[in-house]
């Protein structure tokens, strides 16, 4: 006869001390990815999520915030997102986006965008990226403003006759 343990079997495997956060990191990717996996992709096996390699560039014209490698089933997050100035929900939105590539494939079609919008902070993360892209590109906000263009001459009004 087996006696049931007062502790459920899945809690016995959990460590008693908190997991250490790796040094030189702000966002703990394993916990952020675990939250996304549990909330949106629980029926799929978890993917490995890690920071990409730091490449030194002063200025960029574009930036790839994350990538999914279907051969290694691995998500890489751009190391510039490992900053105290980047909200965790932005990093999670990138992880969510890359998980969708694992589930739905490489195409950004209607189905993909529909599932992407299901992320709870989708609008906030897109807005944050839109407003702060200049930080990630290594530029000042003033450099991203459209350059002043000489205005076109305004045509003089022509007298018109109203018929009524």
Query: 29-43: per-residue pLDDT in tens?
Result: 999 999 999 999 999
Q: Considering the domain boundaries, does residue 155 fall inside one?
A: no
Q: Considering the domain boundaries, does residue 128 fall inside one?
A: yes
Q: Per-residue pLDDT averaged across 50-68, rounded?
A: 85
Listed range (14-28, 60-74, 84-98) with the worst mean pLDDT: 14-28
- CA 87 to CA 81: how far, in whole Å? 9
Q: Considering the domain boundaries, does residue 108 fall inside one?
A: yes
What average pLDDT does the chain have? 80
| CATH assignment at residue 41 | 3.30.2010.10
CB 88 within 8 A of CB 121: no
Question: In this structure, what token pair is assigned to residue 125?
Answer: 């993360």
Q: Which pLDDT tens digit goes with each residue over 106-146?
A: 999 999 999 999 999 999 999 999 999 888 888 765 544 44
Residues with Cβ within 8 Å of 85's Cβ and at least 6 positions away in sequence, in order, are 135
Closest CA to 30 of 64, 60, 75: 75
Instruction: List 74's β-bridge partners, or say none.
Output: 48, 69
Q: Which pLDDT tens digit goes with each residue over 14-29?
A: 444 444 445 567 789 9
- CA 65 to CA 63: how far, in whole Å? 6
Q: Considering the domain boundaries, does residue 99 fall inside one?
A: yes
Q: Considering the domain boundaries, does residue 74 fall inside one?
A: yes
CB 33 within 8 A of CB 75: yes
Closest CA to 32 of 90, 118, 84: 90
Q: Considering the domain boundaries, does residue 3 fall inside one?
A: no
Give the residue numbers spanning the domain of 109.
23-138
Q: Considering the domain boundaries, does residue 132 fall inside one?
A: yes
Query: How many domains is the chain partitioned into structurally?
Result: 1
Q: Considering the domain boundaries, does residue 95 fall inside one?
A: yes
| H or E segment to which residue 76 belongs | strand 74-77
């Amino acid at each position: 006869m087996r006696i049931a343990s007062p502790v459920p079997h899945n809690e016995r495997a959990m460590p008693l001390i908190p997991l250490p956060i790796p040094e030189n990191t702000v966002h703990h990717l394993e916990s952020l990815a675990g939250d996304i996996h549990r909330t949106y992709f629980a029926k799929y096996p978890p993917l490995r999520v890690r920071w990409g390699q730091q490449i030194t560039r002063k200025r960029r014209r574009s930036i790839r915030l994350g990538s999914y490698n279907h051969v290694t089933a691995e998500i890489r997050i751009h190391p510039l997102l490992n900053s105290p100035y980047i909200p965790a929900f932005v990093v999670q939105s990138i992880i969510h986006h890359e998980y969708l590539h694992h589930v739905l494939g490489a195409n950004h079609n209607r189905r993909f965008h529909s599932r992407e919008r299901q992320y709870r902070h989708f609008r906030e993360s897109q807005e944050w990226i839109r407003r702060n892209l200049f930080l990630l590109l290594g530029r000042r906000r003033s450099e991203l403003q459209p350059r002043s263009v000489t205005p076109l001459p305004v045509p003089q009004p022509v007298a018109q006759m109203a018929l009524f």
